[in-house]
Amino acid sequence: MNRIGIYGGTFDPIHHAHLILAREALEKLGLDEVVFVPAAISPHKLEHVPAPGAARVEMLAAAIADEARFRLDELELHRPPPSFTIDTVEAFRQSKPGAEMYYLIGSDNLPRVHTWRRFDDLQRLVRFVVLTRGREIPPCDYLLIQRQVDISATDIRNRVATGRSIRYLVPSAVQQVIRRQQLYKEPTR
């Protein structure tokens, strides 16, 4: 049976913590692949306008280019926003019948995951896996993947906006895309 990890998020930008936790999930859960699915607009982050989808796709593709079991899927960018996880999971179920699916979420999503559209259906279709980068393990009944990696996309955007280095926070190929596309010129709150 095929075991797929679906890693949804804005990835604005993708950074080393995303990649480290995805690799950890791949290995600990025995996944065949991790599919990164960039959201058009997150329904819980409507106030945040992310970098253009094409730029985020370019950064993701550059970041995972050398990972044979990491894949990129743009399906959420081709649907009208906001991006609902249930629509994505149902599309994966249709294209990969019989696959065992895991949905990877950052621990910051845990307090509101129960408010996601058709949450009860989601819980029947996937096994949730919480990726945590901090020292505190959030109380939950889901699988946990934990690594102490203190990197955040908000900090990266703010560092770029204020002219500070993001070396070692993102893959160099991602840093090149950010420079070339002149992303993140304004600080984020």
Residue given tokens 């990890």 in the structure block:
5
In this predicted structure, the answer to whether residue 49 has a pLDDT above a threshold of 90 is no
Extents of the domains making up the chain: 3-155
pLDDT given at position 136: 75
In this predicted structure, the answer to whether residue 182 has a pLDDT above a threshold of 70 is yes
150-172 average pLDDT score = 96
CA dist., res. 46 & res. 53, Å (int): 15
Q: What mean pLDDT is reported for the chain? A: 93
In this predicted structure, the answer to whether residue 20 has a pLDDT above a threshold of 90 is yes
Query: What secondary structure letter does DSSP report for 184?
Result: -
Give 138-149 pLDDT, tens digit per residue: 788 999 999 889
Give 80-89 pLDDT, tens digit per residue: 988 999 999 9
In this predicted structure, the answer to whether residue 42 has a pLDDT above a threshold of 90 is no
pTM over 0.85: yes
Buried b / exposed e along 93-123 (16+ C-beta atoms within 10 A)? eeeeeeebbbbbbbbebbeebeebeeeeebe
30-48 average pLDDT score = 88
In this predicted structure, the answer to whether residue 25 has a pLDDT above a threshold of 80 is yes
Q: What percent of the chain has pLDDT over 70?
A: 98
pLDDT given at position 44: 73
pLDDT given at position 154: 93
Q: Which fold has domain 3-155?
A: Rossmann fold (3.40.50)
In this predicted structure, the answer to whether residue 93 has a pLDDT above a threshold of 70 is yes
